[in-house]
Chain A
């Protein structure tokens, strides 16, 4: 009964959201005018940038995370596994990469998820497609790209991220690497997954959305603010075209360098994308910037250490090399085409 009375609350929140979102420019101008700084000075520009982008991105993120939280309730890891079990390489990689986008995933669950997939007879290459896409193409990255770069770049990232996940997984599958799984993983008896969908009401799905907002936005807001803060500083102080010499199109070596620097770096998309946006504005090439971003988000040292429990060092190296090569290719193609 209680849930019926929540409808007005959701509608009220939606109205507040729309009002806030449509008054972003006014808010930024107001904040800067309240402070004792010259609006046209470096510091004033940096502040204006910060006061516009920070609330905009946080508002967008809240809305998208809410929707994803609701969508996630249809795509539990158990259902995803049942969908992928017993399929062979090929179309299943496309399915796995796409499911990686909508299935809730946290790198701390990477190991149980990996074992769960292996147990259910999901081919290794298909599992990898999922494991590449899940952290790389997520709603946080896509929202930030949409908010700071526009929908074209967000779509591009979505397509290329899925591409790397699909082809990386296909290639990894073709290499027959099962023998490089840790021995105890190879010994796990296969069994058909049982999946019965749990009955869940629509208001419970909405509640799941709200919980996701509190959880995700509560966790990443500080990184977004720091990221946008650093970005604002770069916007205001770093000279125009400063990045062009070493992150520009002509510096071909900057793409591999960006990927290599990005691998050990561990940042959620939330913190890194605002910085990348500022670099881009100062003359960095889009391909180089995208490659850097993908590398930071998709490949991280902590996740590799977690996966070491189930994969031998050799398999981890092959996995990292293939994903890194895919990202590299994306960076080069972009810099060539654009």
Chain B
């Protein structure tokens, strides 16, 4: 089970990122636990300055924009 967090205060890019991860996970049959982190204090705990950011486990794997589909697919094969 992958624990994934999407960091971002509810902007449209953050929502798109959340949806993309959800879609790709469903497609690949990956079991994930997806969480939105919207509180600024919690976002800053990961030191992410440009949202949306994506955290897998406790590592920041992406920041500043919607990741590409290929990038998201790689996350699910790497782990």
| Interfacial chain A residues near B11, Cβ < 8 Å | 106, 108
| Of B9, B40, B50, the contact of A77 (CB 8 Å cutoff) | B50
| Of A78, A184, A215, the contact of B49 (CB 8 Å cutoff) | A78
Looking at A104, A106, A211, A309, the one whose CB has the most chain B CB atoms below 10 A away is: A106
CB contact list, A51-97 vs B, under 8 A: 76-78, 81
Q: Are B50 and A112 in contact (CB under 8 A)?
A: yes
Q: How far is the CB of B25 from chain A (nearest CB, A)?
A: 22
Bound CA–CA A209/B25 (angstroms): 27
Q: Are A119 and B64 in contact (CB under 8 A)?
A: no
Bound CA–CA A101/B60 (angstroms): 26
Q: Are A108 and B49 in contact (CB under 8 A)?
A: no
- The answer to the question of B51 belonging to the interface, with a C-beta cut-off of 8 Å to chain A, is yes
Bound CA–CA A108/B50 (angstroms): 9
Bound CA–CA A81/B63 (angstroms): 15
Q: Are B40 and A115 in contact (CB under 8 A)?
A: yes
Q: Are B50 and A109 in contact (CB under 8 A)?
A: yes
Please name the residue on chain B nearest to A111 by beta carbon.
B40
| Interfacial chain B residues near A215, Cβ < 8 Å | 65
Bound CA–CA A132/B60 (angstroms): 28
CB contacts between A and B, total, < 8 Å: 47
| Interfacial chain B residues near A309, Cβ < 8 Å | 40
Please name the residue on chain A nearest to B8 by beta carbon.
A108
| Interfacial chain A residues near B8, Cβ < 8 Å | 108
Q: Are A104 and B41 in contact (CB under 8 A)?
A: no
- The answer to the question of B47 belonging to the interface, with a C-beta cut-off of 8 Å to chain A, is yes
Interface string of A220-239 (1 = CB under 8 A from B): 00000000000000000000
Bound CA–CA A108/B48 (angstroms): 13
Q: A77-B64, A81-B49, A104-B50 are in contact. Are A112 and B43 (CB under 8 A)?
A: yes
Q: How far is the CB of B40 from chain A (nearest CB, A)?
A: 6
Q: Are B68 and A112 in contact (CB under 8 A)?
A: no
- The answer to the question of A153 belonging to the interface, with a C-beta cut-off of 8 Å to chain B, is no
Q: Are A112 and B41 in contact (CB under 8 A)?
A: no
Looking at A77, A108, A112, A115, the one whose CB has the most chain B CB atoms below 10 A away is: A112
Q: Are B51 and A109 in contact (CB under 8 A)?
A: yes
| Interfacial chain B residues near A211, Cβ < 8 Å | 65, 68
CB contact list, B10-61 vs A, under 8 A: 11, 13, 40-41, 43-44, 47-51
Bound CA–CA A81/B64 (angstroms): 15
Q: Are B49 and A112 in contact (CB under 8 A)?
A: yes
Bound CA–CA A76/B43 (angstroms): 18
- The answer to the question of A44 belonging to the interface, with a C-beta cut-off of 8 Å to chain B, is no
Q: Could you pull out 13 A-B pairs where Cβ atoms are within 8 angstroms? A: A76-B50, A77-B64, A78-B49, A81-B49, A104-B64, A106-B50, A108-B51, A111-B40, A112-B43, A112-B48, A112-B49, A112-B50, A211-B68
